[in-house]
């Protein structure tokens, strides 16, 4: 068998795994990989990011849209450390990535060589798995294990750190997909007795709620969950990352869970007698004060990651399983109950939220545009068909609340880590992944500037990303907390911003700034009709606050509709 370099083994491994699109940024330690990519441009398209953090966010969005693991290549030292935020972000949100970092030659490890960083040590606490490869003959096996671990069980990020001598040395190339790893069992056996007990508990409940998390999308179990919901007639809510598990307009949908979610589902959580948690992890943003969470409810938790069960909320029935399999087995045991009176309680509270919050957010008489207005208008004009990407902060919450999602995996945001700067590169990855739906980014002026360099990637890749900057010239969410909890001491939250339209023009991206409500609809039409990328800057109210709101330390049923 003809020998190949370790760098060629990396590229051949990617081809064996069916990876036709990757993201990255070259540097000294990974020059051998990039040299071999030069000879495989027909098989692999490389997207050149402008920053390593951006490259990882792009790979994450690509993975979420395509359902394939994302791949990112970065160099040693600062290349790897720049990528670390993206690694933590994707891993917290259970997105499968393989991040390949170059490393100094093996003989220099531990000597503080130029651009040496302990990538294995840095990434181990924040990745699903990390491995360092120092020999060319180990590369193929390491890559096969990396892809297998990234996508199986609860997905996550695998960091593969490869020394430069391993990339330049020669080896025979043999590749075996889906290897067996000792002590790694990603798919637990299902206990039929536990399934039967859960079904009986569900059938006897009087006031149940279903909580859908990101796991539904990860397991591709939307059809099974829809059948579960409709067969039982139980109202359901969705976490931020669980949005798009089912359409927002589904008649049994009672809104988004969490700190800035829907009033009804949060308030009535503490009236429920049963919570059925499907593929979600009971984060602090969902539960509020744990001691006051769901005191009347039994809890059924379906979750593939055993470490999440009983971690925050004690369960009565724990189903440690792949949720698609668990629900499929449970469906024949379930029957429908009349929950009309229970659902009516949700509708009444929705009417209260509409009158006190939604109406003000979307149909304001204030002279300044409210952030929810452009979101709702884009939703209506795209008929809910767009891939919506957000940054983090107030823009994220209004997009989650006021876009009418219809299709799975059409909402991309940073959930667990809450990474400002996620939005623009994620929109790049989403646009690279598909061209059948428009990609619309809602971002704040603060978050946009954290990775605005990815405008260069948009231009180079000719991506028709639509960018909506909700510009309030402040760090809006931080300012809201300063207003409410720091007696209006606005410390370091005012921003002096660039001319965003001129900035876009510097990249040959057309744009427009809107300050008046009467100009908004025409500007959105122009943006959506553009065949190229487009930047729309909308000047919004800096004093706007996102409500409803569960204050830190409060229970979910203490959710506020206003500041009073």
Catalytic residues: 52, 114-115, 164, 477
Give residues with Cβ within 8 angstroms of 85, minimum separation 6.
Answer: 53, 56, 417, 419
349 torsion bin: left (phi>0), alpha (psi -120 to 50), beta (else) = alpha
**SS3 of residue 102 by DSSP:** strand
Among positive and negative, which fits the CA dihedral 186, 151, 54, 36?
positive
Beta-bridge mates of residue 97:
70, 157
Whether 515 and 522 have beta carbons less than 8 Å apart is answered as no
Give the C-alpha separation, 239 to 253, whole Å: 12
Give the C-alpha separation, 67 to 151, whole Å: 9
Q: Could you tell me the two tokens for 480?
A: 């809201």
Residue with tokens 């989650």: 400
- Among 464, 535, 525, 531, which residue's Cα sits nearest to residue 505? 535
Give residues with Cβ within 8 angstroms of 31, minimum separation 6.
Answer: none
Q: Could you tell me the two tokens for 148?
A: 């297998």
Helix spans in 93-138 (H): 119-123
SS (H, E, C) 216-244: HHHCCCHHHHHHHHHHHCCCEEECCCCCC
CA–CA distances in Å: residue 361 to residues 225, 365, 371, 498, 519: 31, 10, 7, 27, 18
Give the C-alpha separation, 438 to 447, whole Å: 21
The rounded radius of gyration (Å) of the Cα atoms in the chain is 24
**SS3 of residue 443 by DSSP:** strand
CA within 13 Å, CB half, 62 = 27
**SS3 of residue 451 by DSSP:** coil
Whether 74 and 102 have beta carbons less than 8 Å apart is answered as yes
């Amino acid at each position: 068998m003809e020998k190949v370099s370790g760098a060629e083994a990396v590229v051949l491994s990617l081809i064996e795994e069916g990876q036709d699109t990757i993201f990255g940024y070259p540097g000294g330690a990974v020059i051998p990989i990039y040299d071999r990519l030069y000879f495989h441009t027909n098989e692999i398209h490389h997207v050149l990011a402008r920053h390593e953090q951006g490259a990882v966010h792009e790979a994450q969005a690509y993975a979420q849209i395509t359902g394939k693991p994302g791949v990112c290549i970065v160099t040693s030292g600062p290349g790897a450390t720049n990528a670390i935020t993206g690694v933590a972000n994707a891993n917290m949100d259970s997105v499968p990535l393989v991040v390949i970092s170059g490393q100094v030659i093996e003989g220099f490890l531990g000597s503080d060589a130029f651009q040496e960083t302990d990538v294995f040590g840095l990434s181990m606490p924040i990745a699903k798995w990390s491995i360092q490869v120092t020999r060319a003959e180990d590369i193929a096996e390491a890559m096969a294990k990396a892809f297998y671990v990234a996508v199986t069980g609860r997905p996550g990020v695998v960091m593969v750190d490869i020394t430069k001598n391993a990339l330049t040395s020669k080896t025979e190339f043999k590749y075996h997909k889906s290897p067996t790893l000792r002590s790694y069992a990603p798919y637990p056996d299902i206990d039929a007795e536990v399934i039967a007990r859960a079904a009986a508990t569900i059938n006897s409940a009087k006031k149940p709620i279903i909580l859908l998390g990101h796991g539904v999308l990860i397991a591709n179990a939307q059809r099974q969950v829809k059948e579960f919901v409709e067969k039982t007639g139980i109202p359901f809510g969705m976490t931020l990352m669980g949005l798009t598990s089912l359409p927002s307009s589904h008649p049994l949908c009672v809104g988004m869970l969490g700190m800035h979610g829907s009033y009804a589902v949060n308030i009535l959580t503490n009236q429920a007698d049963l919570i059925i948690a499907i593929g979600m992890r009971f984060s602090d943003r969902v539960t509020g004060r744990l001691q006051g969470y769901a005191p009347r409810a039994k809890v059924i938790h379906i979750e593939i990651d055993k470490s999440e069960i009983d971690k925050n909320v004690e369960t009565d029935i724990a189903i440690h399983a792949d949720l698609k399999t668990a629900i499929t087995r449970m469906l024949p045991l379930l029957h429908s109950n009349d929950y009309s009176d229970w659902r009516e309680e949700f509708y009444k509270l929705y009417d209260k939220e509409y009158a006190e919050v939604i109406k003000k957010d979307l149909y304001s008489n204030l002279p300044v545009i409210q952030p929810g207005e452009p979101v709702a208008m884009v939703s209506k004009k795209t008929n809910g068909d767009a891939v919506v990407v957000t940054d983090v902060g107030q823009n994220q919450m209004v997009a989650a609340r006021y876009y009418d999602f219809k299709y799975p995996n059409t909402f991309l945001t940073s959930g667990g880590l809450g990474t400002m700067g996620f939005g623009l590169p994620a929109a790049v990855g989403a646009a690279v992944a598909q061209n059948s739906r428009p990609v619309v980014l809602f971002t704040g002026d603060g978050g946009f500037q954290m990775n605005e360099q990815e405008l260069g990637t948009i231009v180079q890749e000719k991506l028709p990303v639509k960018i909506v900057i909700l510009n309030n010239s402040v760090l809006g969410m931080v300012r809201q907390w300063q207003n409410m909890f720091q007696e209006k001491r606005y410390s370091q939250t005012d921003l002096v911003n660039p001319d965003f339209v001129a900035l876009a023009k510097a990249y040959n991206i057309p744009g427009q700034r809107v300050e008046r409500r009467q100009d908004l609809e025409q500007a959105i039409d122009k943006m959506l009709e553009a065949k190229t990328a487009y930047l729309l800057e909308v000047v919004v109210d800096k004093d706007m606050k996102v409500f409803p709101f569960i204050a830190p330390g409060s229970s979910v049923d203490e959710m506020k509709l206003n500041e009073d």
